[in-house]
């Protein structure tokens, strides 16, 4: 029996943070960062049976052409993913989930321009989150060793980890998109090589990431959630894929300010293919 302090529940019996139960959670999951973006799914679904909102965690469960799905916002960062994936697994109650993150990201490759779609065949976690779990089994050990040797990161930083996404979902949803390796950072500015007033501790971080290759794939993009989603899915037996709309090209220094319509189009494509 898990103590109430270790797995808290809300007053209505739902999971404390995500406010979902086994009954209100569908097997097909759509994760977004922005809680406002969940409203897009309410316009796409044919019907909505459940909606909840707790802090940045906005959930909607409904049906699209007869297929039941849950859309959930996670907020930003792997710390939130630790909460979301743990509670989703509890709510799933032994069912295998298909989890697709639809996000925004910055490209590290000059030829992958703003407006492109990138699917994460692998993820590299610079955040260190999965190393806090005894069950972590280093599923792509060769990739991890090669990456560590390539980057030569300072021992003060979190130990990186590597994990593969779902091949099934990659083929189903992203067959016509760029495939690559996604690096997940524990922040937006210094951890992604940006200088505002403070300076990143890793010199030329993005150049080093962009030069890494594994399984014939480059590090295509940098964001803040995918490694944790893939890590928990690997350990807990779920299928997971991230698809990102590229809104910044870091080598070119360009940024797509108004990306709402391209995001709506990507959401529609993913929902259609997941169904």
Q: Considering only CA atoms, which of 273, 263, 271, 78 is closest in space to residue 188?
A: 78
Task: Classify residue 36 by its DSSP letter.
Answer: G
Burial of 251 (0-12, 13-18, 19+ CB in 10 A): middle
Domain borders along the chain are 28-274
What are the average pLDDT values for consecutive 10-residue runs of the chain, which has 275 residues? 95 97 98 96 97 98 98 98 98 98 97 97 98 97 97 94 98 98 97 96 96 98 98 98 97 94 96 98
pLDDT at residue 145, as a whole number:
97
For the domain spanning 28-274, the CATH number is: 3.40.50.1580
Helix runs in 98-224, H state only: 141-151, 167-173, 205-211
Cα–Cα distance between 39 and 59 in angstroms, integer?
Answer: 9
Q: What is the pLDDT of residue 1?
A: 83
Distance between start and end Cα atoms, the chain: 36
Integer Rg of the chain from CA: 18
């Amino acid at each position: 029996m898990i103590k109430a302090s270790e797995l808290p529940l809300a007053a209505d019996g739902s999971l404390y943070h995500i406010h979902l139960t086994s009954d209100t959670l569908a097997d097909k999951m759509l994760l977004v960062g922005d809680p406002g973006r969940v409203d897009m799914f309410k316009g796409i679904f044919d019907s909505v049976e459940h909606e909840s909102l707790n802090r940045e965690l906005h959930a909607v469960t409904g049906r699209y052409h007869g297929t039941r799905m849950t859309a959930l916002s996670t907020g930003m960062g792997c710390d939130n993913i630790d909460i979301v994936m743990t509670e989703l697994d509890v709510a799933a109650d032994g069912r295998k989930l298909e989890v697709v993150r639809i996000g925004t990201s910055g490209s590290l490759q000059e030829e992958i321009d703003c407006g492109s779609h990138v699917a994460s065949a692998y993820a590299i976690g610079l955040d260190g989150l999965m190393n806090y779990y005894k069950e972590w089994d280093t599923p792509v050990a060769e990739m991890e060793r090669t990456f560590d040797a390539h980057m030569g990161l300072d021992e003060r930083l979190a130990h990186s980890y590597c994990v593969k996404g779902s091949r099934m979902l990659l083929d189903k949803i992203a067959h016509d998109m760029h495939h690559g390796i996604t690096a997940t950072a524990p922040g937006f500015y210094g951890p992604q090589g940006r200088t505002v007033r403070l300076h990143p501790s890793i010199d030329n971080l993005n150049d080093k990431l962009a030069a890494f290759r594994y399984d014939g794939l480059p590090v295509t993009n940098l964001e803040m959630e995918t490694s944790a989603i893939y890590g928990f899915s690997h350990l807990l037996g779920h299928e997971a894929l991230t698809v990102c709309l590229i809104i910044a090209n870091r080598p070119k220094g360009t940024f797509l300010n108004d990306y709402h319509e391209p995001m709506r189009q990507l959401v529609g494509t993913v929902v259609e293919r997941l169904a």
